[in-house]
Amino acid sequence: MAGGASSGPAARHPAGPGADGPGADGPGADGADADGAAGGPGPARRGAEDAAARATRYLLARQDAAGWWKGDLQTNVTMDAEDLLLRQFLGIRDEATTAAAARFIRGEQQPDGTWATFHGGPPELSATVEAYVALRLAGDAPDAPHMARASAWIRAHGGIAAARVFTRIWLALFGWWSWDHLPELPPELVLLPRWVPLNIYDFGCWARQTIVPLTVVSAQRPVRPAPFTLDELHTDARTPFPRTPMARPLSWEGAFQRMDKGLHLYRKVAPRRLRKAAMAAAARWIIERQENDGCWGGIQPPAVYSVIALHLLGYDLGHPVMRAGLESLDRFAVWRHGPAGPDGDTDTPQGAPVRMVEACQSPVWDTCLAVIALADAGLPADHPALVRAADWMLGEEIDRPGDWAVRRPGLAPGGWAFEFHNDTYPDIDDTAEVVLALRRVRHPDPARLDAAVARGVAWTLGMQSRNGAWGAFDADNTSTLPNKLPFCDFGEVIDPPSADVTAHVVEMLAAEGRTGDPRARRGIAWLLAEQEPEGCWFGRWGTNYVYGTGSVVPALTAAGIAPAHPAVRRAVAWLESVQNADGGWGEDQRSYQDRSWAGKGDSTPSQTAWALLALLAAGERDGAAVERGIGYLVDTQLADGSWDEPHFTGTGFPWDFSINYHLYRQVFPLTALGRYLHGEPGEHGKPEEHGEHGEHEKSGQPFAAGAAAARTTRPAAARGAS
């Protein structure tokens, strides 16, 4: 697949000239004026120039001929296990796919027999259960050493009964768990109008796309013959399905437990005609949202459950909808060749095929970030690679309404999605970054580019939530009730505004000369109010406080907040306080659960770059922290111009679902090096477009009054509180 940064040998490239590998022209060869650029003289600057040139060549060489970039999107083994379980359920599992997937799963197993959900993370029960079952499907014997270690750990930590709901649903499909001991999801949920609490539009788009097909599965309660038993995963095989004790009636947990008990009773008396109508409505909802490539929402989990639901409703595997859906799932697979696995797979020959399943694909996101990185590193604005990328991005603009229009029915479309095909769910984060990327390109058809940017800006402004900030996919998707349902025990199921998305929007509006717009000013006030006491910001879609801070500070300074502003100085002080001894920055996923991990973890190229972007925007280019951070990037760069980054620095659901974007290790370090060498990106638009508030913005005074009112309350778990 194009764009994935190679892990390669661990050879480092020393700072200084020479040893530049072959490839396309980089900043050092395209006429960039080194003498006029920002950044200090001497070896540090020269090392940064050479590193940026190598990184530019590396990135240019990985652009697809169509104009896009895409790195692998690595998550965890539950994607691979559930893919095999789906194929087993549908009767289409083949030995070649199973063997290749099993090799990947075995290769991710930890010495204690468990699986984690991110690099270096602690054992995770549900992932371990699903991986174990997948290896049983692949033929691994339960008494094999690697399997025995896994099952013993599972039993010691509560067995299947302690696993999350989604894991137990998969096991119920084969009779390994009882449907009676799962939360009830009635399909009548699809019929609830918008004004009723817990209607499907109260859920975030990713949860909504999953829940609708699961209502069909829950109503049908299918059971396929199991190819083996799983008694070894129960703490007591005689009573494998213990019931959860009821919580206090006046607590949220107790209230929803009793509601779920009522729904189980309703199942037995549900009016047949109403249930039939609900199932038909769910089927229509699912089919209407299938994308042109056959997927649903461009992400794997809803596609898996949608295929199962439609199959249960009578759609055979040859039906065009089903055929396209299955073909789309095949495109989530990344095939490579690897070494033999651990002791459960010692007979595998070197170079045997290994299959990893992506939860999603990120070409739009990767492409706009690559364009920003290359442009900020000094690539000419009319470079053919940038023009090709702009052409491709312009062709990806979404011109029809999606689910977002439920809350914004009068708003004209104009956004971009994350994936190749996802017209139903464009997102605000991608749209903001695409606009920033397009503005860095000198396109041969400027009118076309300007029109697309105008539509994107208008759509983004229309998606602002009532509190002045922006979520990722929907406006005002802030009801906390969905998170309290017994069914929702895994990850975020709502899409409230976040600091990182809001920051990207503010940065985009500043580039468009719109900081005087009242909507932009409300966003700025919200960001200032959301700063944590330590001086950082929470990162919803990247890990975590380093990402949030690296997003917000450049946005605030682009919008006119002076580097001397107290909020900026607090952010600088926090970043300096968490810099590692090697000069880099890192933050572990555990900071989402334990606040003491904030800003702490092994240094990584992407997180170091995020910290540098904030420090550079704050005017710290000549500071010791920046010099050490740049030195870290130069010293850890590989000989081919890439960086190695096994750590997961992206986030799907904070803590619950972590992501390793393989292109992050490339685009963000290059952006940081570019801004160190050439200064911050120039402002776009005429100065007068920023309105009469420029001087006030630099002092921060207009935002002080509204800051307290703008602050929102984030749940303690989301805020990383211990």
The whole-angstrom separation of Cα 142 and Cα 137 is 11
- The type of residue at 401 is P
Q: Which of 212, 216, 377, 362 is nearest to 288 (CA)?
A: 212
Q: Evaluate if residue 274 carries a pLDDT over 50.
A: yes
Instruction: Tell me, yes or no, if 429 is annotated catalytic.
Output: yes
pLDDT (average), residues 5-12 = 33
The whole-angstrom separation of Cα 98 and Cα 104 is 10
Structure tokens at 20: 């530049």
**Poorest-confidence range of 301-305, 374-378, 507-511?**
301-305
The answer to whether the Cα torsion of 613, 473, 662, 659 is positive or negative is positive
pLDDT for the residue numbered 239? 67
pLDDT for the residue numbered 113? 97
Instruction: Estimate the share of the chain in helix, then strand, then coil, as percent rounded to the nearest 5.
Output: 50, 5, 45
Structure tokens at 184: 């009830």
- Reported as a single tens digit per residue, the pLDDT across 69-112 is 999 999 999 999 999 999 999 999 999 999 999 999 999 999 99
Q: Are 371 and 440 in contact (CB under 8 A)?
A: yes
Q: Are 604 and 647 in contact (CB under 8 A)?
A: yes
For residue 246, what pLDDT band results from cuts at 50, 70 and 90?
Answer: confident
- Reported as a single tens digit per residue, the pLDDT across 564-619 is 999 999 999 999 999 999 999 999 999 999 999 999 999 999 999 999 999 999 99
pLDDT (average), residues 179-207 = 94
For residue 690, what pLDDT band results from cuts at 50, 70 and 90?
Answer: very low
- Reported as a single tens digit per residue, the pLDDT across 491-515 is 889 999 999 999 999 999 999 999 9
pLDDT for the residue numbered 379? 97
pLDDT for the residue numbered 685? 36
At 407 the three-state DSSP class reads: coil
For residue 66, what pLDDT band results from cuts at 50, 70 and 90?
Answer: very high
Residue partners of 565: CB distance under 8 A and separation at least 6: 556, 698, 699, 700
pLDDT for the residue numbered 34? 38
Instruction: Give the percent of the chain with pLDDT over 70.
Output: 86
Instruction: Give the percent of the chain with pLDDT over 90.
Output: 80
- Hey, what domains does the chain have and what are their CATH numbers? 41-72+360-463+498-710 (1.50.10.20), 76-347 (1.50.10.20)
pLDDT for the residue numbered 693? 34
Q: Evaluate if residue 547 carries a pLDDT over 90.
A: yes
**Poorest-confidence range of 5-14, 237-246, 421-430, 546-555?**
5-14
pLDDT (average), residues 346-365 = 85
For residue 28, what pLDDT band results from cuts at 50, 70 and 90?
Answer: very low
The whole-angstrom separation of Cα 389 and Cα 394 is 9
Q: Evaluate if residue 695 carries a pLDDT over 90.
A: no
Residue partners of 714: CB distance under 8 A and separation at least 6: 496, 538
Q: Evaluate if residue 347 carries a pLDDT over 90.
A: no
- Of the candidates 429, 500, 588, 640, the residue annotated as catalytic is 429
pLDDT for the residue numbered 632? 98
Q: Evaluate if residue 477 carries a pLDDT over 80.
A: yes
Mean pLDDT over the full length of the chain: 88
The secondary structure of 529-573 as a DSSP string is HT--TTS----SSBSSHHHHHHHHHHHHHHTT--TTSHHHHHHHH
Q: Evaluate if residue 251 carries a pLDDT over 60.
A: yes
pLDDT for the residue numbered 423? 94
Backbone angles phi, psi at 221, to 5 degrees: 50, 60
- Reported as a single tens digit per residue, the pLDDT across 122-180 is 999 999 999 999 999 999 999 999 999 999 999 999 999 999 999 999 999 999 999 99
Q: Evaluate if residue 211 carries a pLDDT over 60.
A: yes
pLDDT for the residue numbered 248? 78
The whole-angstrom separation of Cα 186 and Cα 181 is 15
pLDDT for the residue numbered 720? 34
The whole-angstrom separation of Cα 57 and Cα 639 is 12
Residue partners of 180: CB distance under 8 A and separation at least 6: 241, 264
DSSP 8-state assignment for residue 683? P
For residue 339, what pLDDT band results from cuts at 50, 70 and 90?
Answer: low
The whole-angstrom separation of Cα 722 and Cα 333 is 37
pLDDT (average), residues 540-556 = 98
DSSP 8-state assignment for residue 242? P
- Reported as a single tens digit per residue, the pLDDT across 397-446 is 999 999 999 999 999 999 999 999 999 999 999 999 999 999 999 999 99
- Reported as a single tens digit per residue, the pLDDT across 613-642 is 999 999 999 999 999 999 999 999 999 999
